[in-house]
């Protein structure tokens, strides 16, 4: 039978309890390990972000370089390039699985609109290529400033 005296004794013992229970310790360790694993994941994602940033810059440079090449090519070679566009060896070495596509619009007022698109193996990049449009003198050789 629980008496008032025994209850008071229990309360007094609880108040005097020092230290932590194993359960509390486990909860604290669990929270800490969750924080550490989330932070470690962030570090890994940071590394991927750096690679992604570089790939983006290399892809933009590659598109600009290909557009320059198209400008320098004679009309027949340009048509051949547009029929089967391919990334440069440098881009192929640095951008995994890089593919280049080109769309040429019909010439208008001596200029031809050419759109180049590049995509490579990266999360969220396939199906969402980078595009660069340029207006080059059409095959007739007419130039406008």
Partner 1 sequence: MKSMTRPISARRPPRGISLVELLMAMGGVSVVITSSAMLLHGVMRAQSESRRFFDDERTSARLARQFRADVHAAAQVAAPIEAPAGERLVAFTLPDGGTIEYRHTADRRQIERRLLAPGNPTPMGREDYSLAGPCAAVVTVAEKQIHLELGAEGADGELAPPGVVRPPRTPAEAKRKPPALVVEAVLGRDLRFLPARDGEARP
Residues at the contact surface with partner 1, assessed by CB under 8 A: 6, 9, 13, 16-17, 19, 25, 29, 32, 36, 39-40, 43, 46-47, 50, 53-54, 57-58, 61-62, 64-65, 68-69, 71-72, 88-91, 93-94, 143, 145
Nearest distance from C-beta of residue 100 to partner 1, angstroms:
14
Nearest distance from C-beta of residue 38 to partner 1, angstroms:
10
Contact present, 128 and 81 (Cβ < 8 Å): no
Whole-angstrom distance, CA of residue 137 vs CA of residue 134? 10
Nearest distance from C-beta of residue 83 to partner 1, angstroms:
21
Residue number with CB closer to partner 1 (4 or 57) = 57
Nearest distance from C-beta of residue 143 to partner 1, angstroms:
7
Residue number with CB closer to partner 1 (80 or 93) = 93
Q: Nearest to residue 63, comparing CAs of 129, 141, 145?
A: 129
Nearest distance from C-beta of residue 94 to partner 1, angstroms:
6
Phi, psi at 52, each rounded to 5°? -65, -40
Residue number with CB closer to partner 1 (19 or 124) = 19
| Cβ-Cβ contacts under 8 Å for 86 (sequence gap 6 or more) | 100
Contact present, 114 and 104 (Cβ < 8 Å): yes
Which phi-psi region, left, alpha or beta, contains residue 129 (left: φ > 0; alpha: ψ -120 to 50)? beta
**Tokens describing residue 133:** 């449009």
Residue number with CB closer to partner 1 (95 or 127) = 95
């Amino acid at each position: 039978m629980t008496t008032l005296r025994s209850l008071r004794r229990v309360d007094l013992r609880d108040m005097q309890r020092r230290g932590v229970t194993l359960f509390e310790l486990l909860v604290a360790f669990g929270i800490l390990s969750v924080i550490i694993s989330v932070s470690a994941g962030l570090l890994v994602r940071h590394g991927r972000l750096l690679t992604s940033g570089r790939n983006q810059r290399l892809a933009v440079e590659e598109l600009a370089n290909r557009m320059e090449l198209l400008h320098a090519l004679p009309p027949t070679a340009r048509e051949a390039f547009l029929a089967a566009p391919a990334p440069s060896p440098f881009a192929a070495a640095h951008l995994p699985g890089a593919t280049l596509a080109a769309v040429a619009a019909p010439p208008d007022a001596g200029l031809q609109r050419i759109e180049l698109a590049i995509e490579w193996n990266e999360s969220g990049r396939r199906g969402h290529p980078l595009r660069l449009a340029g207006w080059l003198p059409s095959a007739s050789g007419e130039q406008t400033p």
